[in-house]
Chains A and B, each alone.
Chain A
Amino acid sequence: MALFRDRRVFPRWSFIDSRTLARPRHARDENSPESVPTPDEPLAEVAPEPEPVVAAVPLSEPITAPGIEEIAEPVPMRAATEVAPVSWIEERRAWFAAGDWPTEASKDAVQLAGTHPDRPYIPPVHGGLPADSPAEVRARHGRGFASLSRRHRRRRHGHEQVQRRTDIDLTALEAALDSAASTVGDGLVDVVVWHATTGLALASRGQVTPEHASLWHGATREVRATLPHADLPDAASYHLVGLADRRLAVLLHTNRDLGACITVDLDLVVVDALLTIAVPQLGDALAATSREY
Chain B
Amino acid sequence: MAPAALDGTVEALRQRVGDSLVALDIWESASALSLAGFGMTPATGPMLHRVTEDLREAATLAGSLLDDYHVLTVTGGVVVVVTRPQLSGALLLTADAQLGWVLSDVIPAVRMALDDASA
Contacts and interface: CB of A to CB of B under 8 A. Distances in A.
A190 to B, nearest CB: 10
Contact of A243 (B41, B43, B67, B107): B67
| Chain B interface, DSSP helix/strand/loop, else mixed | mixed
Interface in A226-268: 226-227, 229-245, 247-249, 263, 266
Nearest to B25: A230
Contact of B44 (A209, A230, A234, A247): A230
Interface in B46-72: 47-48, 50-51, 54-55, 58-59, 61-72
Interface string B89-103: 000100000111001
A266 B51 CA distance: 23
Contacts of A236: 73-75
A271 B71 contact: no
Given A223-B54, A226-B50, A212 B72 contact: no
A212 to B, nearest CB: 5
Interface residues of B, number: 37
Contacts, number: 112
A219 B55 CA distance: 6
Contacts of A241: 55, 59, 66, 70-71
B3 interface: no
| Chain A interface, DSSP helix/strand/loop, else mixed | mixed
A269 to B, nearest CB: 11
A277 interface: no
Nearest to B44: A230
A218 to B, nearest CB: 6
B113 interface: no
A74 B111 CA distance: 123
B47 A211 contact: no
A227 B41 contact: no
21 contacts: A211-B62, A215-B59, A218-B54, A219-B54, A219-B55, A226-B51, A227-B74, A229-B43, A232-B92, A234-B74, A234-B75, A238-B73, A241-B66, A242-B71, A243-B64, A243-B67, A244-B67, A266-B103, A271-B103, A272-B100, A275-B100
Q: Which 10 A-B pairs give the minimum distances between C-beta atoms?
A: A242-B67, A230-B47, A244-B65, A219-B58, A240-B71, A233-B75, A236-B73, A272-B100, A233-B74, A215-B58
